[in-house]
A and B are shown apart, each in its own frame.
Chain A
Amino acid sequence: GQNIDQPTEMTATEGAIVQINCTYQTSGFNGLFWYQQHAGEAPTFLSYNVLDGLEEKGRFSSFLSRSKGYSYLLLKELQMKDSASYLCAVRDTEGSTLGRLYFGRGTQLTVWP
């Protein structure tokens, strides 16, 4: 089966740095996505990794190690608006399942002033 694990909740203070981890065990791998979802809203795309290493995009960075089945999302200079759920998703290999995503249950991040 497919297994995507991430912590349920995290808290941090404004201005700090937080790292949200994601481990996965899937039968196929064709990329890992991070989404942000504010309460009552749609998930929005944050980052994509398919090769090992770090991808940086402003205050957000995402890292991937395929050999370890591990990724993290790093949020710097935290702001109150970063309080949201962060979803890790692994894309299956193209083919019969056309690259469907397997989602973790999400990490609820609360940023305190």
Chain B
Amino acid sequence: DVKVTQSSRYLVKRTGEKVFLECVQDMDHENMFWYRQDPGLGLRLIYFSYDVKMKEKGDIPEGYSVSREKKERFSLILESASTNQTSMYLCASSLRFQGNQPQHFGDGTRLSIL
């Protein structure tokens, strides 16, 4: 069965901290994505990657960076956390050439920045 695993369901950090959110998929998918989801705003794409060491900016990359050193792992980094980055973060993965295959999502990390 398809599995996307995010390292934490809930995380509380302080303003200014460097925060790492980890995502691992076991489906040998080429594409991986990081979204944040806020009430009334829906899912917004932060960064995505189509291969190891490759990354592309999404719609709201400011204040974030990513790392993809291995195919199965995609990390989201908040360089210096701020309160406006309090949100639900969702990781997803998909095949490179997708056809009718959807993106598969992890359970999400609810991040609070104090």
A residues near B (Cβ < 8 Å) are 31, 33, 35, 40-45, 48, 50, 87, 89, 91, 94, 97-101, 103-106
Contacts and interface: CB of A to CB of B under 8 A. Distances in A.
A43 B102 CA distance: 11
B31 interface: yes
Given A45-B102, A97-B56, A87 B42 contact: yes
Contacts, number: 53
Interface residues of B, number: 26
Majority-rule SS of A interface residues: loop
Interface string B27-51: 0000101000000111111001010
Contacts of B19: none
A87 B101 CA distance: 16
Contact of B98 (A40, A97, A99): A99
Interface of B: 4, 31, 33, 40-45, 48, 50, 56, 58, 90, 94, 96-98, 100, 102-108
